[in-house]
Structure 1
Amino acid sequence: MESQLDSGALFVSKQNQIIVAIVAVLLVGLVTVFGVGQNTVGTEGNTDSASENEIAQAPDAAGLAGTVAAGQDDDLGALESPNPLGEIVLGQADAPVTIVEYSSLTCPHCGAFHRETLPELTKKYIDPGLVKVYFRPFPFDPYATAGAMLVHCVSPAVRGSFLDILFKRQQQWIQAEQPMLALQGIAQQAGLSESDFVVCLKDQKRLDGIRNIQSRAADELGVRSTPTFFINGGKLEGNQPLAAFEKMLKPLLADARGAQ
């Protein structure tokens, strides 16, 4: 019995060492992107639940083409370029208005948006087919980076619900004594085994994809805080109430109706 317990303890210890090593690698990645790896790029003021509707993965960014509103900056290449990891989209592909969200899974204002404002947007604009939302990662710490990688490792059929749970349980797993183990537990519920979890977070190509999304958004779109939204190319920063979104959405929807 003692030998079995010792063996189990050694396994857990080795697993923890692997996870700690992964966190260290992710931290180096953030330093590479931002120079210092601290939140100076962003979570001041009101910046920093996804609904139960299906969030589907799109193979490319075709749905983003032509979404730049008249009068907006034309230098939005990063916005219309495909997510190298595959898009995660809430809403119908032919919705006339597109919202691109850059967010961090550990950003409290991002969590508040997903729990409070997004359900309102979903009921009023997304479910009726008027708006679709693209979710793109902009992590500020290793835990948010790990979460973003894991979102793209779980089965496409559960990515939406997994993202939803990460935001809904945000404080629980972030404030856990060992956040990575808490994150692993949620990933396991989404179908990732312990070995899948480690393999996912050791995937350099996936990490590079996250870095690419983040650095291009910062360099080309001027994203400095989370959440940051682009509504048909128009920029909106922070966890804004529904009214702030509607101020931008209503003219765009009116134009779309007039063009029909």
Structure 2
Amino acid sequence: MSSRRAVAIGAGVVAAAALLGVVSYTATKPATRSDASTRVETVETGDSPAAEVSTEPGAGVYPELAKLARRDGADPLAVGRADAPVVMIEYADFKCGYCGKFARDTEPVLIEKYVKNGTLRIEWRNYPIFGEESEAAAHAGWAAGQQGRFWEFHSAAYAEGAKEKGFGADRLDALAREAGVKDLDRFRRDRTGDAAAAAVRKDQEEAYGLGAPSTPSFLINGRPIAGAQPEETFTQAVESAKAAAEAAPEADKGDR
């Protein structure tokens, strides 16, 4: 890890990230295949067991990692109340097939069940690891967000068969149209501009600092989960985080 990345996430988070890398991602990581072209391990979930999530609210949770939640009410790459008791940070790549599986199969359930009632906030982090088209798609998603259409772009880019069509310039324009982006000229300027590059680089460095070995990777109130795990893994983690958040005020009263 570069010194710049270490400074970016803070010494306390670096210490927690070391634990995450040695314990949590190893414990929750399903079977993998090695991709020699990218030297990145992508998560295979078809025959792998679910990550284990303890019913104890504090088990497997790293408070320093919970502090990575930005809770910016103006963040177009987030959905849900800024003050929601549970925040799920998602590190993902638009060219990642298992990110798409999560986006199609599990994320809509979490939004319907927890985001809409104010329990959960989802904060997206761009973590492009599959080369130039990954980077281009990440920049395009950010650019769509500048016109309030990130999640619509997210849905279009993760539709069944979408990644097989690639993420060249014309294809990104087509996805923007599908997402309802109104000003395509602005979209093109934004996705190729310095602000998009800086925003994506910030997210990447956060993920690098955590040692996240694959996409998708998640933090739920500081609890790491690796891979497009079954829906039950995420619902259990959200319920556990919610219980811990609800218990915290009572514990504070007791301390007083």
TM range (shorter): 0.5 to 0.7
- The residue aligned with 1:153 is 143
- The residue aligned with 2:39 is 40
TM-score by length of 1: 0.66
- The residue aligned with 1:244 is 233
Q: 1 CA distance for matches of 2:203 and 2:149?
A: 22
Q: 1 CA distance for matches of 2:150 and 2:138?
A: 11
Deviation at 1:81, TM superposition (A): 5.6
Q: 2 CA distance for matches of 1:71 and 1:148?
A: 30
- Of 161, 164, 175, 2:164 maps to 175
Question: Residues 87 and 134 of structure 1 are in contact (CA less than 8 Å); yes or no, is this contact kept in structure 2?
Answer: no
Amino acid in structure 1 at the alignment position of 2:155: D
- The residue aligned with 1:162 is 153
Deviation at 1:110, TM superposition (A): 0.5
Amino acid in structure 2 at the alignment position of 1:205: A
Question: Residues 79 and 217 of structure 1 are in contact (CA less than 8 Å); yes or no, is this contact kept in structure 2?
Answer: no
Cα deviation per residue 1:184-233 (whole Å; 9 max; x = unaligned)? 212234336554344233313321321221123112x1111100000001
The alignment covers a number of residue pairs equal to: 200
Determine whether 1:127 maps to 2:116.
Answer: yes
Listed as ranges, the gaps of 5+ residues in structure 1 are 1-36, 48-68
- The residue aligned with 2:176 is 187
Secondary structure of the residue that 2:165 maps to in structure 1?
Answer: coil
- The residue aligned with 1:88 is 77
Question: Residues 65 and 221 of structure 2 are in contact (CA less than 8 Å); yes or no, is this contact kept in structure 1?
Answer: no
Cα deviation per residue 1:84-141 (whole Å; 9 max; x = unaligned)? x945212222221110000001111001101001111122222121111101110122
Query: What is the Cα-based RMSD across aligned positions, in Å?
Result: 3.1
Q: Matches of residues 12-91 of structure 1 in structure 2 within 5 Å?
A: 38-46=37-45, 72-76=61-65, 79-80=68-69, 86=75, 88-91=77-80
Q: Which has the larger radius of gyration?
A: 1
Q: 2 CA distance for matches of 1:178 and 1:87?
A: 21
TM-score by length of 2: 0.67
Amino acid in structure 2 at the alignment position of 1:123: E
Q: 1 CA distance for matches of 2:240 and 2:183?
A: 47
- Give 4+ residue runs of structure 1 displaced > 6 Å after superposition: none
Cα deviation per residue 1:52-91 (whole Å; 9 max; x = unaligned)? xxxxxxxxxxxxxxxxx687445539824689x9452122
Q: 2 CA distance for matches of 1:143 and 1:196?
A: 20
